[in-house]
Structure 1
Amino acid sequence: MEFLLEGIRAITVPQLIMYVVGILLIYLAIVKGYEPSLLLPMGFGAILVNLPSSGVLNQTLPGIGEVQGIIEWLFKVGIDASEAFPILLFIGIGAMIDFGPLLSNPVMFLFGAAAQFGIFFTLSAATLLNFNLKDAASIAMIGAADGPTSILVSKILHSNYIGPIAVAAYSYMALVPLVQPLAIKLVTTKKERMIRMPYNPISVSKRVKIIFPIVVTFIAGLVAPASVALVGFLMFGNLLRECGVLNSLSDTAQNALVNLITLLLGITIAFSMKAEEFVTVDTLLILVLGLVAFIFDTIGGVMFAKLINLFRKQKINPMVGAAGISAFPMSARVVQKMAIKEDPTNHLLMHAIGANVSGQIASVVAGGIIIGLISKFI
């Protein structure tokens, strides 16, 4: 009987807090429908790794010796040793993206760049709050609302806060429908949100769509070499989609590969959610800074659109600028929903998608630039 009660007696207060965090993530996934493929594995994994003497972590058992835990093994193989999970996920993301709306309206490239403002703002803020430069840069990447990029940057920079950063990045991705409307309304008027933008796309040839991912890979590789892994795999996935001769591989990348890697990545990240490392004042501060980065990325895109409108006759709806963050396609859907709420006949989805896929590229390149800059300073 005493043996059966050992586990219960070994539970600590921080572990109880992590059980609550895990159940909250599961609740948001199932009841609220917030990115269930991400939050549910993370929530369940948070419970698994915080059970006393959890078998999913490495441990030494009397009379048996070293026993390998599956989640710790997955973390070391898929993230710690190679960053394989986040990088492989980008093949599937690339295969799902249609760059047509962006290529038919190239001005949307600018919004992807503008919507990274929050990253650099938060990097400065985190440094002022006494985080070291590597941790500050990793925390700032939460603003991109791009889980794989945040994980990769924090791993390459050897941040001490990979777990909180991953949780914050994926959580804010899931909470895009709640956070972005508040940020957008904070800096726009109803009149601005009702600006109409007729969609008259320029025809984009198949040749251009095939050349585009190759050119982007070259440019990103020369400008931000550290981004090549993510940009290259993102563009490779897109090339699978657009080449027209590998439809079965494109379909596999969009479905089977994305689902499998998302599942493994979600539950593997839980390794960094162990109570003794996660339940700290720094974690709370990271969550706040991540939210600041996310909000200022959104505001940066909106304000840039308003700036451009000072020099244009045909105005851009500033909400489109908010879609320049990397949360694809959630941010584009938010902009469309807000536009229809203000005017049921105003459809901004395709414009927003153009900005949104631009943000996907820009966030990865921004991560590469940050890695390059930090490596020169340290």
Structure 2
Amino acid sequence: MDLLLHLWHLTGFPHLTWQMPVMWGVVAILFYLAIYKGFEPLLLVPIAFGALLANLPTKGLVSEPPGDLLAPVSGLVLEVPKASREEVLQGDLLFRIQFQHQSDHGAVTETRDIRAGTNGRLVDLRFKPGDTVTEGEILGTLYSKEPGGLFHYLYKGIEWEIFPPLIFLGVGALTDFGPLIANPRTLLLGAAAQLGVFITFLGAAWMGFGHGASASISIIGGADGPTAIFLASSLAPDLLSPIAVAAYSYMALVPLIQPPIMRALTTEKERKIRMKSLRPVGRLEKLAFCLLVTISCILLVPAAASLIGMLMLGNFLRECTVTERLVKSAQNEIINIITIFLGTSVGITMTGQRFLQPDTLKILGLGVVAFGFSTAGGVLMAKLMNLFAPSNPINPLIGSAGVSAVPMAARVSHLEGQRADPHNYLLMHAMGPNVAGVIGTAVVAGYFLATLGK
């Protein structure tokens, strides 16, 4: 019997929690949406598989390497449950620190737990209950022979802001900025589509989220998954998984969310507007545009340098026509490999303890609000512009493409236009605000990072 009990404890069954089977249901829904409905399968499949791994009693998959334990905040040490040189298991509480931060409702007192990232022994314990610590101070050292798990290192690609800019490199290599250059006024449509970002920021703050979390949630309205991950990893790492899932889910639902809003805000006559053909754009113009956007955006918002820089590098490689091998790598191998690592690294954060929280439902609801206002902002801006240029009108449907879902949002604008007039071709016109939205969302993210980041 003792042998059977010993064998039982060697399996993962004793370590199952009630949250794990619940999260298996969430994983099944994500697989269904990705595989059977075709909603963003390139991202949702890796995210779902990572979430499955996160909700199984694995060993060593996400273990942290041994080393110094740093104080994540400045405050008062409340608890130190373990003694120096005591053996600890992964997940054991090592320190509990009380700290204060400012919110819209004044000073808020919270606690932050520091837990063992791997099995080992706690040595060189430097603080006891009642001591004050400063952020970044060494609390103690965790000794272990285990080197750290696979996903601990893969997640550094998100934590160190490596994966999202590399995704932007591929997006730039796949995108033609010609429609925006040929009709530069569509840049205003991309800017207007950021309306949902700022309204959702205010709504999230009103619902009790901190400014960093509110900014990260609001970027969902830009329909830009990599940018949402980029911002959340810096400003709201605890909310990264629900924000990423919401961002990519709503990107996939663009064909369902946007059309009713577009029809409600436009008349039949407006939907039938035929726009003038775009002029050809030369290679020199495209190269100059890349350099101009890079210089101007980084001078205005230096914090957006990694996103804007990699986006424009990818496009410059595409348009210079002398780096074909590099362009193909950025369009295929690089973006595909990074997509796998990015998706699974996001999924591995979707533990039941993190995901099954009331805040997750709030984020999903705010995501719909963000998307709706972003769509409306672009459409209404197009209608406003037509008041000042009636001789060269814009079909308001292309305003909805100001969100960053390239090229899906542009395709939705085109299809809605063809519902009203089967011979009206809006796809290339809609690509102008679509790529403007990519730039706009990256700039807004940089602004939030500069003003709200540490």
Correspondent of 2:244 among 138, 141, 166: 166
Deviation of 1:169 after TM superposition, in Å, equals: 1.0
8 Å CA contact 1:340, 1:347 repeated in 2: yes
Q: Distance in 1 between matches of 2:151 and 2:365?
A: 28
Q: Distance in 2 between matches of 1:188 and 1:8?
A: 57
Deviation of 1:8 after TM superposition, in Å, equals: 3.6
Q: Are 2:182 and 1:104 aligned?
A: yes
Number of matched residues?
Answer: 373
| AA of the residue aligned to 2:357 | T
Which residue does 2:128 correspond to in 1?
none
Q: Are 2:228 and 1:223 aligned?
A: no
| AA of the residue aligned to 1:41 | P
SS of 1:160's equivalent in the other structure is: helix
Correspondent of 2:28 among 23, 41, 48: 23
Deviations 1:102-133 (A, max 9, x none): 10111111111000000000101111111111
1:1-378 equivalence runs, <5 A: 2=5, 3-4=7-8, 7-58=12-63, 59=90, 60=118, 66=146, 68-75=148-155, 77-80=156-159, 82-198=160-276, 200-313=277-390, 314-375=392-453
Bigger relative CO (Cα 8 Å, ≥ 6 apart):
1
8 Å CA contact 1:138, 1:159 repeated in 2: no
More helix by percentage: 1
8 Å CA contact 1:48, 1:54 repeated in 2: no
User: What are structure 1's unaligned runs of at least 5 residues?
Assistant: none
Q: Distance in 2 between matches of 1:189 and 1:15?
A: 49
Q: Distance in 1 between matches of 2:191 and 2:222?
A: 11
Deviation of 1:263 after TM superposition, in Å, equals: 1.2
Larger radius of gyration: 2
SS of 2:19's equivalent in the other structure is: helix
8 Å CA contact 1:72, 1:271 repeated in 2: no
Deviations 1:80-110 (A, max 9, x none): 1x21111111111100011111101111111
Deviation of 1:44 after TM superposition, in Å, equals: 1.1
SS of 1:161's equivalent in the other structure is: helix
| AA of the residue aligned to 2:432 | G
Q: Distance in 2 between matches of 1:103 and 1:351?
A: 11
SS of 2:164's equivalent in the other structure is: helix
Deviation of 1:55 after TM superposition, in Å, equals: 4.5
More strand by percentage: 2
Q: Distance in 2 between matches of 1:172 and 1:253?
A: 25
Deviation of 1:193 after TM superposition, in Å, equals: 2.0
8 Å CA contact 2:8, 2:14 repeated in 1: no
Q: Distance in 2 between matches of 1:123 and 1:117?
A: 10
| AA of the residue aligned to 2:285 | V
8 Å CA contact 1:134, 1:159 repeated in 2: no
Q: Aligned pair in 2 of structure 1 residues 52, 251: CA closer, same or farther (>3 Å)?
A: same
Q: Aligned pair in 2 of structure 1 residues 281, 372: CA closer, same or farther (>3 Å)?
A: same
| AA of the residue aligned to 2:16 | I
SS of 2:12's equivalent in the other structure is: helix
Q: Distance in 1 between matches of 2:381 and 2:349?
A: 36
Deviation of 1:67 after TM superposition, in Å, equals: 6.0
Q: Which moved more, 1:333-342 or 1:86-95?
A: 333-342
Normalised by the length of structure 1, the TM-score is 0.94
8 Å CA contact 2:165, 2:306 repeated in 1: yes
Q: Distance in 2 between matches of 1:176 and 1:146?
A: 12
Q: Distance in 2 between matches of 1:9 and 1:193?
A: 61
Deviations 1:209-268 (A, max 9, x none): 111111111111111111011000000010100111101111110111111111111111
Identity %: 46
Q: Distance in 2 between matches of 1:91 and 1:10?
A: 41
SS of 1:328's equivalent in the other structure is: coil
